[in-house]
Amino acid sequence: MDIVYTQPLKELLQVSTYFKEQIIVLVTNEKDEKVAKQNSFTPCYLVSDKTPESDIQKLSSKKKAVVGGSVKANELAVRLKADYLLQPSNEKQFFDLGLAQKLCNNNTVVVLMFEELLKANSFERHQYWKNYIELVRYCKMKNVKFVVASGTKDPLLLRPPKVRESLAVLLGLPQGKAKEYLEEELK
Amino acid sequence: MKIEKNKKAIIPLSKRERKRYILFEILNAEVAEKDFYFGFWIDLLSFFGSKGLAEINPKIVLFKGNKAIVKCRRGKEIDLIAGTAFIQKIRNKKIIINPLLTSGTIKTLKEYAKIE
């Protein structure tokens, strides 16, 4: 399972079929959702704290992902019972045991968008890495699912599942669990 | 005066450091062998640092076509595979490095990749 932003579908299809992996495409409107479904990708709505309440109510039966990175955004993911919480921490830590427990109850998957890490300079990268080691430790304690996703708009920045699994292991997740979370098929 | 050469002590096989070989595949662009050597090192070094990279001890053993066999210390395969995620470009060509197989012998990898 990999999570990416909406991008040129032809190239994305080529790369994803090569890696033999289910791809979740983050969409913001119905048009993108239709296109994703037509190409046998799984669409997932991207919700932020700026999304109007009326739009959020319409998405109740659909898959939702919330971009975290602040206390407010992380709490929004808990309130909406989102399926995915993307980037809950960045250079600063916004993740704690209490949040992990709430995410566990909602069965939310915590996602590290790898492109964010890739874009960061070496100083920011060490802060990201430090925060994510702590985050994975909390996830392990509360049995929250943690996945490393490519999180990119460029098909050539997609990373193979084996590499993403290794990154999760490097962050402290047991290898068996890292593999299990990545191979989880969505219905 | 005659200078006598000391014979290099041969470390018994059982006491040698254990190693692993990983077969990588380079997708999207054709890369020259020299460029791959350089590009491979630079990104790994920036991520692991000198100490980390020395512990992994990676060595490019073979490069043919779009496949490369890299040797590393046993137990550090995961680190090496994770490190390759940071390699985006080689000579301004965007590439994806895909790990195919890990093994204790080159022979297995050569057979898998059909390299002579």
- In a domain, residue A28? The reply is no
- In a domain, residue A146? The reply is yes
Q: Which of B84, B88, B94 sits opposite A163 (nearest CB)?
A: B84
Identity of the amino acid at A69: G
Confidence of residue A186 (pLDDT cuts 50, 70, 90): low
Question: Residue B23: what pLDDT?
Answer: 95
Confidence of residue A179 (pLDDT cuts 50, 70, 90): very high
Average of per-residue pLDDT across B44-60: 93
pTM confidence score: 0.91
Note whether A18 contacts B: Cβ–Cβ < 8 A: yes
Q: A61-78, pLDDT tens digit by residue? A: 888 899 888 888 888 889
What torsion, rounded to 10 degrees, do the Cα atoms A67, A131, A169, A179 define?
Answer: -20
Residue of B nearest to A129 (CA): B47
> CA angle, corner B88, sides to B70 and A151, nearest 5?
115
Q: B101-113, pLDDT tens digit by residue? A: 999 999 999 999 8
Question: Residue A159: what pLDDT?
Answer: 92
- In a domain, residue A171? The reply is yes
Parent domain of A100: 47-183
B46 Cβ contact list (under 8 Å, min separation 6): A122, B86
All domains of chain B, ordered by start, with CATH? 17-113 (3.30.70.3250)
Tally of domains within chain A: 1
Q: CATH code at A110?
A: 3.20.20.140
- In a domain, residue A174? The reply is yes
Question: Residue A129: what pLDDT?
Answer: 92
Pairwise CB contact (< 8 Å): A164 & B78: no
